[in-house]
Amino acid sequence: MPRVLYEADSALCCQYGALLFDCDGTLADTMGLHYEAWKETVEPLGLSFPFDRYTKMAGTPTRRILEVLGSEQGIFVDVDELLPEKERRFVERMHHVKPIPTVTDLVRARHGLQPLAVVSGGIRKAVLRTLEHTSLIGYFPVIVTAEDTIRGKPHPDPFLRAADLLAVGAARCLVFEDGDPGIEAALAAGMDVVDVRPMIAG
The domain locations on the chain are 4-30+97-201, 31-94
The band of 58, judged by pLDDT with boundaries at 50, 70 and 90, is confident
31-94 domain in CATH 1.10.150? Answer: yes
Strands 18-21 and 142-144: unpaired
Q: pLDDT tens digit string along 112-165?
A: 999 999 999 988 988 999 999 999 999 999 999 999 999 999 999 999 999 999
The verdict on whether 22 is a catalytic residue reads yes
Instruction: State the Cα–Cα distance between residues 152 and 164, nearest whole angstrom.
Output: 16
CATH number of 4-30+97-201: 3.40.50.1000
Which pTM was predicted? 0.88
**Catalytic residue from among 9, 22, 52, 178:** 22
Q: Check whether 51 has a pLDDT greater than 70.
A: yes
The residues near 5 (Cβ < 8 Å, ≥ 6 apart) are 12, 192, 193, 194, 195
